[in-house]
Amino acid sequence: MSAKLLPNVSDALFKSLGHLGFQRFAPPLQLRPWVQCYWIARQDRLPEASVSETVYPDGGTTLVFNFANDYPDITFFATQTVGKMIFQGSVNRMGIRFHPGGAFQLLGLGMPDVIGTELSADDLSMHSLLQLRDQLAELSHVSQRLTLIDQWLLDRVKKNNANIGFIQQLLPQLILTPQPLEQLSEHLPISRRQLERKFQLEVGFSPNQLKQLHRVKIARTLISQRPEQSLTDIGQDAGFYDQAHFIRHFHKITGQTPGEYRQRKMSQIYNSTKP
């Protein structure tokens, strides 16, 4: 198997999904400019009849394979707002989590056409994806499925002539540094307006919207990892320049204030540790 297991302890948000048998795997190096991870949720019996998990937008997209009925259902999620994933009975799902812009490069999907939607394999009209579904139906072992998905994505790289474009080059700096977009893009051979258009086409968000999504994602992770830390400190660590700015953007993206989010996470931790 080419995929390497990523330990859940590195990410408190994923760590909280242990009751779903959740694991993450790293894709091959050749795919990492576009693919964040593979994930698996596999549990023969849930602790409750129905379990729901909140999904927050971060600019990425996901291709989900649901093996609940042996023959996999495939759904592409381009989430723009907070949503829910419902799990009932046994759980047997796999997913490919794409970085922002990754699905455009590897699947040829323009984000204005799909953002905010859930599309089936038939909706996507990709012959190779339908073939992949048929092949996955013949396999039962996780390692075999991951190897097949590896090969399918690598074939997509070749077929689509996927490249590490301006967006892939800019994303790490855009997300992790406080520099304004003007400074980050001044060495690119395209104008600011052209870059904005590329972001809308390939990501579905403007660069500044994506920056805010990731700052809120960092804040959510820090709240989960450090529930006792001051929310003022967490806002600063996540890159927000003042508390009002932090609360406003956090609420806009999650529908909750940072305090409400922390209270819910602490309640989940308390309930999970009760005998």
Residues 129 and 222 in one domain: no
What does the mean pLDDT of the chain come to?
85
Q: Is the pLDDT of residue 6 over 50?
A: no
- At CA 53, angle to CA 21 and CA 134, rounded to 5? 60
13-35 in b/e burial notation, b at 16+ Cβ within 10 A?
ebebbebbbbbbbbbeeebebbb
% of the chain exceeding 70 in pLDDT: 88
Q: What is the pLDDT of residue 11?
A: 45
> Where does a domain end: 128, 159, 190?
159
Q: What is the pTM of this model?
A: 0.86
What's 99's DSSP letter? P
The mean per-residue pLDDT over the stretch 40-54 comes to 75
Q: How many domains does the chain have?
A: 2
Of 129, 144, 159, at which residue does a domain stop? 159
Q: Are residues 215 and 266 in the same domain?
A: yes
Same domain, 135 and 10: yes
Same domain? For 196 and 127 the reply is no
Q: Kindly report, residue by residue over 64-121, the tens digit of the pLDDT.
A: 999 988 789 999 999 888 888 777 777 888 999 999 999 999 999 999 989 888 999 9
- Tell me the residue range of the domain where 80 lies: 4-159
Per-residue pLDDT at 137 exceeds 90: yes
Q: Which of 139, 159, 179 is the last residue of a domain?
A: 159
Domain containing residue 210: CATH number: 1.10.10.60
Whether 99 and 51 share a structural domain: yes
pLDDT bucket at 31, cuts 50 / 70 / 90: very high
**pLDDT at residue 265, as a whole number:** 82
